[in-house]
Structure 1
Amino acid sequence: MENFLRPIYQEHASNPDTLGILLIEKIQHDSPVTDEFDVILLIIVNEYEQTWYVKHYEIEGKTAALHIVRNDILMKWIDTSGYRSAVEWIILGKPVFDRNEYIAHLKEQLRDFPKDKRDLRKMIDFGKLVKSYSEAKSLYEAGEFNDAHSKILDSLHYLARLAVIEKGYYPEVTVWSQVKKIDFEVYKLYEVFIESNETVDKRIELMIIGMDFVIHNRAIISAKHLLDIMKTKDSAWSYADIKSHEKVQSYRLDLSAILSYLVEKNIISVVLEQTKGHGVYQRKYMISDVVTHKD
């Protein structure tokens, strides 16, 4: 297969804007890593007419997908989990062109997973987790058990990704195989939920109780990215101030759910500020004394 693709990637290798080229072959028949293709050809460039260009090929009954991705877009994917397969492509891919050891440095960066990037990724997945978990509880209370079941599965998935990040790894597409090796508590929650013989409503009820404990124990460390931002000033923050902060943009869509959860757990306190309207107050937010005393 590589022989057929070689003329394609050699053409791109001659382009001075090409930083590196990786070849990723399907190892297992049902592996999700290559998006069901037999081969992925990932070409990373400085500049291109599109930020992300994809082309599909078929060669002697085998399939290949060519991805040309601009470097800044790829780094955004890595930092914010924008396209999860990309991380595995870099980790597992075979370099067939590497300008100035760009690919080698990128692979090393993924192995290191710097703390600042780890904190951001934890915050992003924590936001998705608490939003999904809150929706599951609301649906359960409304008697919508099938939808609540679906949201619990989503919540478990985000919890699994969070557990992997906490251990210093990037979550892979096959995240549960990672979790089974590094966080038995989270894996056991998942196993109990999918294998339980209880009725759907009872299974959800038990999982809501179990997950509440696990999420609460992780809340402060998972929300560190946001809490560190809020520590940069002594006064209370309005929602608009937090939402517009440049470092919050990757998780601003889940910000309301995050703040609601942190307020509920007394990690963040609400400060009411009088407005011009009689009896109308603006809600502002500060880190609670409980968290401040732990630092």
Structure 2
Amino acid sequence: MNFELLILGTGSATPVLNRHPSAFLLCIENESFLIDCGEGTQYRLLEHKVKSTRIRHIFISHLHGDHYFGLIGLLSSWNLNQRKESVTIFAPRGLAEILTIQFKHSDTKINFKINFVETDTENIHSILDTNLVSVETIPLHHRIPCCGFLFRSKASKRKILAEKLPENFPIPYIKMLKDGLDISDEFSGEVFLNKDFTTTGSVSKSFAYCSDTAYNELKINQLQNVDAIYHEATFTESELKRAQQTNHSTARQAATIAKKINANQLIIGHYSSRYKILDAHLSESIEVFANTFLAEEGKTYKI
């Protein structure tokens, strides 16, 4: 199963050249899920030739501008390009009102359907469940209501090796093979062993997105054994007091969470503009959790 994360923006609130505000694209099979939408996200999507029709769900962690100021421009451009597909936006209370006011005073009439789903930022809450993926909120601790998102892809049934099937093979038998069963034809007595006609289906994978948050261990049970976690690391330990004052995390704290949840992979980002070089972030995190990666804009991480 294709399951990968494209980094579109790694910065925090204060602009820095060559570092964009938060935005990420999680790609699962042929669907793309946009997670946060900082200023300029639509340009990053164009740069990476992302097909807008594959984005049908947008997840906004909270209403600080570096996480959603790009949304109005993106939706407006989709409208100008005559988008027809509906889009569902998951966000804390207030975003629907903000967008409605913007469109009202710019006399913008959106010609595709926008569904707003208000997120519960204080409790774990299932917000999406399809044949492909399930998503639930991750309560985070920030200055305003904020939540992360836990994505779990669905495991698929066994895959049929069509070229090995006899001609006019009965459809009910194909369904049985997908379910992992061997088949004994009651008329001919012929036996069809599952291992001869199928291969293993894809396994479930998981990705946790932890946006702006102070260090807290409330999410540890929920995130146990995730395949990958993105966790903000705005500061290094030298600025621990500043992190505490602003309800952000250090790289070491992000690594501590990754270790406690037994994650397979940690990606850190949301760097403060005071850091021009990120070597300290990486070394600090690796001391606690070895399989740490710096989020690099334009890079795709396979999960």
TM-score, structure 1 normalization: 0.22
Query: By percentage of residues, which structure has more strand?
Result: 2
Query: By percentage of residues, which structure has more helix?
Result: 1
The structure showing larger relative contact order (alpha-carbon pairs under 8 Å, at least 6 residues apart) is: 2
TM-score, structure 2 normalization: 0.22
